[in-house]
């Protein structure tokens, strides 16, 4: 077992402990979402990941169009499920939330598709972990919760990573990882570049939606 696999085992164990804590606190909305989407949806498609690309190749959609379709479909399902289970979403109005989240996350996805995968060399589980770690930035930095409650990241980080991994697994199957650069800067770029680029879209989009 390599270091990336061990890291994932630690994160999943951490995730499990956090879910137990929220269950004890009777936060069933969050527990249900974490288990259904994070472990259920994510685990199912991780197990079936080798079957995804052949389907899109047969449809002639193993390209960015297919990638974007998967990304938007998964993101929409995740947000609707989160809302339906009674959890807080980015915008209390569902359709506005879907516009904001899909617009923001599509940049995150596209950064991996067009830039990171073509420049840097990744193992599969390494790319998944680095992409998913951006969830900590989206959920705890953008929202400001890291300032209001810095210790809360200990509880929030594994949930963010597992949920964002579940978001990324399906679109990831249509990414052509061709990069060869192994420089350490790839870890910083992988975490911050998608987030910063998507923030440049999210901010004006949020302002526009608030005016409607």
Q: pLDDT tens, 95-134?
A: 999 999 999 999 999 999 999 999 999 999 999 999 999 9
Average pLDDT on 68-76 reads: 97
Average pLDDT on 15-43 reads: 97
Q: Interhelix angle for 185-210 vs 94-111, to 10°? A: 150
pLDDT digits (tens, 9 = 90+) for 160-198: 999 999 999 999 999 999 999 999 999 999 999 999 999
CA quadruple 181, 187, 205, 80: dihedral sign:
positive
* Closest-CA residue to 34 (of 11, 13, 18): 18
pLDDT, position 143: 74
Q: Tell me the two tokens of residue 149.
A: 């409650």
* 180 SS3 class: coil
pLDDT, position 178: 94
Mean of all residue pLDDT scores within the chain: 94
Bridge partner list, 120: 181
pLDDT digits (tens, 9 = 90+) for 134-148: 999 999 887 777 767
């Amino acid at each position: 077992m390599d270091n990336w696999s061990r890291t994932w085992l630690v994160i999943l164990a951490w995730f499990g402990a956090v879910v137990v804590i929220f269950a004890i606190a009777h936060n069933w909305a969050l527990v249900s979402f974490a288990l259904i989407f994070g472990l259920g949806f994510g685990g199912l498609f991780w197990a079936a990941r080798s079957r995804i690309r052949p389907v899109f190749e047969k449809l002639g959609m193993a390209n960015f169009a297919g990638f974007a379709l998967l990304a938007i479909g998964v993101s929409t399902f995740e947000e609707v499920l989160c809302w339906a289970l009674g959890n807080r979403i980015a915008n209390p109005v569902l359709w506005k939330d879907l516009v904001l989240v899909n617009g923001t996350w599509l940049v995150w996805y596209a950064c991996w598709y067009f830039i990171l995968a073509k420049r840097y060399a990744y193992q599969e589980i390494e790319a998944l972990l680095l992409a998913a770690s951006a969830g900590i930035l989206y959920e705890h930095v953008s929202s400001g919760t890291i300032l209001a409650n810095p210790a809360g990241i200990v509880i929030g980080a594994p949930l963010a990573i597992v949920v964002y991994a579940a978001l990324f697994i399906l679109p990831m199957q249509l990414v052509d990882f061709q990069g060869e650069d192994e420089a350490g800067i790839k870890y910083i770029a992988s975490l911050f570049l998608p987030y910063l680029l998507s923030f440049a879209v999210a901010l004006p989009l949020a302002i526009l939606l608030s005016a409607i």
